[in-house]
Amino acid sequence: MLGVDMVLCPSRSAESVVVVVLLAATGFVSLCSSDSGEGIAADSAALCSQLIEPAGYPCSEHTLQTKDGYLLALQRVSSGNRDFWAQRGPPVLLQHGLFMAGDAWFLDSTGQSLGFILADHGFDVWVGNVRGTRWSHGHVSLTEKDKDFWDWSWEDLALYDLAEMIHHISSITSSKVFLVGHSQGTIMSLAALTQPDIAEMVEAAALLCPISYLGHVSAPLVLRMVRMHLDQMVVALGIHQLNFRSEIGVNLLDSVCDGHIECNDLLTSITGKNCCFNNSRVDFYLEYEPQPSSSKNLRHLFQMIRKGSFAKYDYGFFKNMKIYGQLKPPAYDLKRIPQTLPLWMAYGGNDALADMADLQLTLEELQSKPELLYMENYGHADFLVGLKAQEDVYDHMIRFFMSFGKSSSS
């Protein structure tokens, strides 16, 4: 498995390097597609009308502007089984992972997708979409063709995008917000919650595949890409947006799988062995995923893997001095997350990205003792699109939220 793409296809161009980097960076979205087109167009119907309302759930679209000018989409979802005029339950914000968008929470049946399940339990569900993804709406002055549009990493997603979403929801609902994150969404959440003004708006947080430290990532294909410094090669090539929806990206991704490697094995080499992944819905997933991200974001994540640190972006000694006033980027201090903020975390024994050793480092730094759910057979994708995730994981999460006595069952 390790490095099979490069062994079998040594003559690939620079663009193929980008595809391999993307494959290494993400699990769920790095599946194989037989569709040679570009999928659903960026200007197609909004998420509510595309995916949520057809399932029978009332949904409204919201747009908010971050302090650095990005225009983000939020969807607000409630259960179709409840009286329209009934009082809404407590707000919960769903924050997606890398190369995903808010649709990730609604890709399976209404009885299997967390977004629908939370709505059916009476929660006021809000769906986040970070900058650059299909459902968000660009920037007040920049276009996606501008280099500066893609000058961000997960840190900006945490301190601008997620912060603005939480503030908006809290203002609209006059309530503290329950926060749910998966994978990169947990990095964003933990970084954001170190900021007192953000933490005070959050009632509790539930983290699926929690990540802050990445020094023990064990996925062989990811580690190969990190050792080859392919993130730096992408930046050196002047590539700022990483987008699988381009014609080149789709064709090269097809060629990685076709005749060279079995797609499910590829997924395993990136995420760990997923016990309960719904293989029958791969074609449908690929109608919505993957979403764009930035080269800088990928490089920030690879920096964390190399250094084993949970820190700000490393610009190099001289620029670090200019920006941070020190040679090395400052670390995020997880002790700043309030001890009184309830945390719930679910993690898997087969997860090759959110490793248990890295989670232990996180737990040692936190002031509080989070409630933990360990799924021995789960890999990285199982927590989002696993066939049994509702009974194995989501029911536990919902009981955690309901223990605060503020939610109502439908």
Active site (catalytic) residues = 183, 351, 380
- Rounded to the nearest 10 degrees, the angle between the axes of helix 14-25 and helix 247-257 is 70
Structure tokens at 354: 């959110």
Rounded to whole angstroms, the Cα distance separating 381 from 46 reads 25
Residue closest to 403 by CA, chosen among 206, 249, 239 = 206
Distance CA 93, CA 115 (A): 10
Alpha helices in 289-392 (DSSP H): 295-307, 317-324, 356-365, 382-385, 389
Two tokens, residue 262: 């079995």
Query: What burial class does residue 179 get, using C-beta atoms within 10 Å of its C-beta: 0-12 exposed, 13-18 middle, 19+ buried?
Result: buried
- How far apart are alpha carbons 237 and 235 in whole angstroms? 5
Residue 345's beta-bridge partner residues? 207, 372
Measure the CA–CA gap between 40 and 127, rounded to whole angstroms: 19
* b (16+ CB within 10 A) / e for 117-130: bbbbbbbbbbbbbb
Q: How many beta carbons lie within 10 A of that of residue 40, not counting itself?
A: 15
Report how many helices (DSSP H) and strands (DSSP E) the chain contains, helices first: 19, 10
Q: Which two tokens stand for residue 2?
A: 């390790």
Residue 305 CA: distances (Å) to CA of 153, 231, 246, 351: 15, 12, 28, 15
